[in-house]
Amino acid sequence: MRSILALAILSALTLPAHALEIDGRIDPDEWADARHVSEFRLTQPLSWGPAPQPTEAWVKSTPEGLAIAFRNLQSADVPRTRHRTRRDEDAPMDRVNVVVDFDGDGRTGYNFMVTLADGIADEIVTNESNFRDDWDGNWKHAVSEDEAGWYVEMLIPWYIAPMRKADGDTRTIGLYLDRVIGTTGERVASVNANWTRPRYLSDFEKVEVAAHTQSLLAVTPYVVGVHDQVGGHQHFDAGADIFWKPNGQTQLTATINPDFGQVESDDLVVNFGAEETFFSDKRPFFTENQGVFDFGLLLDNSQLIYTRRVGGQADDGRGPAEIAAAVKLNGSLGATNYGVMMAEEKGDAGRSFSALRLQRELGAHSLGLMATHVDRPWLQREANVVGVDHRWKAGDKVTVMASVVGSDIRDDNTVDVDGVPTRVADDSHDTGATLLVNYEMNPRWRHQWLALHFGGAFEINDFGYLSRNDLNYGHWQVSRRFTDLPAASAYSAVDLRLRAIGIDNDDGLRLQRQFRAIAQSQRRDGGEEFAQLNVNSASYDDLLTRGGHALYRPPNASLNWERFRPRKGDWSWKAEGWLGGGGLSGNRQLEVDLYFEPTYYVSDALNVFAGVSAELTPDWLVWRYDNIVGRYDETALSLSAGLNWAMGERQELRVKLQAIGLDAELKEAVEVLPDGRARTVVPTGEPVTDFSLRNLGFQVRYRYELAPLSHLYVVYGRGGYMFDEFSTGAGEQWRDSFSLRDSEQLLVKLAYRFEL
């Protein structure tokens, strides 16, 4: 009897008195020993004023993960937004965010968002404030609600991300908690941090929590079957993704015969320009903890690793390449973070990709290195790129970011010399460099200086993305934030930015001189408004003729406006407008672009939307061949419509339709002369004619969640593209787009994640 009593006492002492249950109901006993966060203040608008609605949170480190709870009180006169959202959907509704920097060094953060309707989003944050939502983690969440407010509980497992080894029994993390009130757009946070400022991750509160570690082995096999309605054949495939985290410091991700992105569809884009269109990646292997490989070059989407290259168009031009396998290793060795990635494509035209990333924190300084290698045997080409990046927090007000990158390309071309195939080496070497300085004088005023140089032979596009090289760019920007606006104003905050830009190529040719004014506003109805004015002096376009003569462009100006109004009753809407000069006429002929997209909420679970755009460009320049350019009167009509139906907690139906009709009537053909002037000509080579096109993309996707990160997909897709060498009118092309049927297929995919 005594032994039984002793065993009972020992069990009571060794087991937690109240095991944490993630059910959305905040039990005081469960959270009694948690860290209590009672002060939240306004960060949207960024005034650091008192919270308009009472908010408090609790944070607790457990062996199962980092636990967080929110109590969000809400007065009856502030409506609650409960409509269901897709995972990672950016919607103006009641929600909370937890951003965790597990190493506490301001290098990488992980954002976990939960809405009042228990919708979720998860994102990786790098480079202080670069959010990427193409990553999905496995974590727990629950929501409850009563008359006084609503409540959230989360549990984030320790295996969710690689992190450095703890120093003893505790670890120091960077932590940021916030709450957004959907109907007003107001955001309150636990720390005075905002992603619109030069520093975001670095401003997180440093919190010491009990150190725990978890291991995980997860295998996600998949099977997929495709029926081609046009070709009349079927295709079946299978493969697997593997995730192994033996400890907190090491994480291995691998994929065998991957199915990359077949259930996702890219937006339709019509691009006649010289710069490549950038598409984000939606493929699970490349989005899983990809943050360590983030090495941007500050020009739009430029980066040293653009994962869409892997499995992209094969070097023999016969469609997308098939990927045999890929592997990625992330982790840390002491204070150094590392990442290694390799991917191998199938066949003679397949490529081999590899990358190494190193990062190390040195107090106020952060150093990193990236090295990539691509072997392209079909083209007899090898590409090597090495970059070094540096970040310096120079006191509380100045942040400096710099990088230097070198490219080394070996390109062996085979030519015919007296009937004998002969290799001719066409090697190239060049460099690129970036420098960004942010100076936050006070909460209202900010300055920014940016300088870029990309040499004429600088080439990273075998693995990375760079819209162009042969570029020297500089700008100075001053910003002023207004948050003390009158209560009667429709705006709660306005961020005004003025920027002066200068761009030349390496030959000293003026590519741009621009003055830019931007007003980005938050409205008291929870919406947003954006306006931008550009004034350009005369300049040259050295890309239009694809290596030919640069074209002189007269001065021009443009005005862009965007407005989003969140759901009020059953409707929300967004609108965009653009008015500006261009072409060879400057401001004498103005282009007009209009877009309007209303969304109707049939219920909190079902909404439909339809966006219509019209584009009129009276002086559209399109390169035809050599130095010959066509001047066109272009019109375009497009429809972007769809349906989103959350059929329950586990089921989702999405319908997506895009239809484009474009017509271009030739006004004249011009030849670009060596001095940049354009001369009207009658082409003696290929004819320059009117043209028109139509494009269609349609997808119906049903998803059933079998378990976390385990899904059944049934997807129907249809699309097509048609180009005509004559003018028929944009309206007719748009109507005819619905009859396109270049591709039509039914896909069924089953993927199930086994955690061992």
Q: Is 389 contained in some domain?
A: no
Collapsed DSSP state (helix, strand, coil) of residue 587: strand
Q: Looking at the DSSP assignment, which residues form a beta bridge with residue 684?
A: none
Domain that holds residue 696: 567-756
Confidence band for 6, pLDDT divided at 50, 70 and 90: very low
Domain assignment of residue 223, yes or no? no
Predicted model pTM: 0.90
DSSP string, 47-60: S--B-SS-EEEEEE
* Token pair for 704: 């059933």
Q: Over pLDDT 90: what percentage of the chain?
A: 78
Q: What is the dihedral of CA 489, 494, 499, 505, to 10 degrees?
A: -120
How many whole angstroms separate alpha carbon 120 and alpha carbon 646? 13
**What b/e sequence results for 325-350 when a residue is b if at least 16 CB atoms lie within 10 Å of its CB, and e otherwise?**
bbbbbbbbeeeebbbbbbbbbeeebb
Residue 756: the pLDDT is: 85
Give dist(CA 540, CA 505) in Å, integer: 10
Q: If pLDDT is split at 50, 70 and 90, which confidence band does 136 have? A: confident
Q: Answer yes or no: are the C-beta atoms of 279 and 308 closer than 8 Å.
A: yes
Least confident of 185-189, 194-198, 469-473: 194-198
pLDDT band at residue 260 under the 50/70/90 scheme = low
**Banded pLDDT at 9 (limits 50, 70, 90):** very low
Q: How far is CA 722 from CA 178, 631, 687, 693, in A?
A: 48, 21, 19, 5
Considering the chain, what is the average pLDDT of its residues?
92
- Which of 188, 214, 240 finishes a domain? 214
pLDDT of 4 reads 42
Higher-pLDDT residue of 265, 622: 622
Nearest to 118 by CA among 138, 135, 102, 141: 141
Q: From 214, 245, 278, give the residue that closes a domain.
A: 214
DSSP 284: H
In this predicted structure, the answer to whether residue 657 has a pLDDT above a threshold of 50 is yes
What was the pLDDT predicted at 551?
A: 97
Residue 220 in domain: no
Residue 441 in tokens: 């004088």
pLDDT reported for residue 18: 53
Range from 17-21, 297-301, 629-633 carrying the lowest mean pLDDT: 17-21
Domain assignment present for 594: yes
**Rounded CA separation 72/52 (Å):** 11
The pLDDT value recorded for residue 167 is: 82
pLDDT digits (tens, 9 = 90+) for 271-307: 999 999 998 887 778 887 788 899 999 988 999 999 9
- Residue 238 DSSP SS3: strand
Strand, coil or helix: what is 433?
strand
pLDDT band, very low/low/confident/very high, at 14 (cuts 50, 70, 90): very low
Length of the chain: 756
Examine the pLDDT at 427 and tell me if it is beyond 80.
yes
Q: Which amino acid is at 645?
A: W
Instruction: Please tell me whether residue 5 adopts helix, strand or coil conformation.
Output: helix
Residue 56 is part of a domain; what is its CATH number?
2.60.40.1190
pLDDT digits (tens, 9 = 90+) for 701-741: 999 999 999 999 999 999 999 999 999 999 999 999 999 99
Residue 516 belongs to some domain of the structure:
no
12 pLDDT above the threshold of 70 = no
Peptide bond into 79 cis (omega under 30): no
Residues in CB range of 587: below 8 A, 6 or more apart: 555, 556, 557, 581
| Residue 293 belongs to some domain of the structure | no
CB 193 within 8 A of CB 200: yes
At 212-236, the pLDDT tens digits run: 989 999 999 999 999 999 988 998 9
* Cα separation, 250 vs 644, whole angstroms: 38
pLDDT attached to residue 17: 45
Specify if 405 maps to a domain: no
* Number of domains comprising the chain: 2
For the cut 60, the answer to whether the pLDDT of residue 266 exceeds it is yes
Question: Does 465 have pLDDT greater than 80?
Answer: yes
- In 3D space, the residue among 512, 554, 541 whose CA is nearest the CA of residue 274 turns out to be 541
Q: Is residue 83 part of a domain?
A: yes
- Using only C-alpha atoms, what is the Rg of the chain? 28
User: Taking the CA of residue 479 as centre, how many other CA atoms within 13 Å lie in the half-sphere pointing to its CB?
Assistant: 21
Tell me the DSSP string of 290-345.
Answer: -GGG--B-SSTT-BS--GGGTTSB-TTSSSBPPEEEEEEEEEEETTEEEEEEEEEE
pLDDT in tens, 390-403: 999 998 899 999 99
Residue type at 365? Answer: H
Judged against a pLDDT cut of 70, whether residue 34 lies above it is answered with yes
Domain termination residue (choose one: 214, 244, 260): 214
For residues 480 and 518, give the distance between their C-alpha atoms in angstroms, rounded to a whole number.
11
Phi, psi angle pair for 284, to nearest 5°: -55, -45
d(CA 505, CA 150) in angstroms, rounded, equals 56
**8: pLDDT strictly greater than 50:** no
Mean pLDDT is highest, among 163-177, 271-285, 500-514, for 500-514
Distance CA 754, CA 212 (A): 23
Give the amino acid at 437.
V
Q: Judge whether 175 and 189 are in contact, CB under 8 Å.
A: no
SS (H, E, C) 259-294: CCCCCCCCCCCCCCCCCCCCCCCCCHHHHCCCHHHC
In this predicted model, what pLDDT tens digit does every residue of 59-117 receive, in sequence order?
Answer: 999 999 999 999 999 999 999 998 888 888 888 889 999 999 999 988 889 999 999 99
pLDDT score at 591? 97
Lowest-confidence pick of 13-17, 533-537, 568-572: 13-17
pLDDT (0 to 100) of residue 11: 39
> Where is 127: in which H helix or E strand?
none
- What is the per-residue pLDDT across 366-422, written as a single tens digit (0 to 9) for each? 999 999 999 999 999 999 999 999 999 998 899 999 999 999 999 887 655 565 555
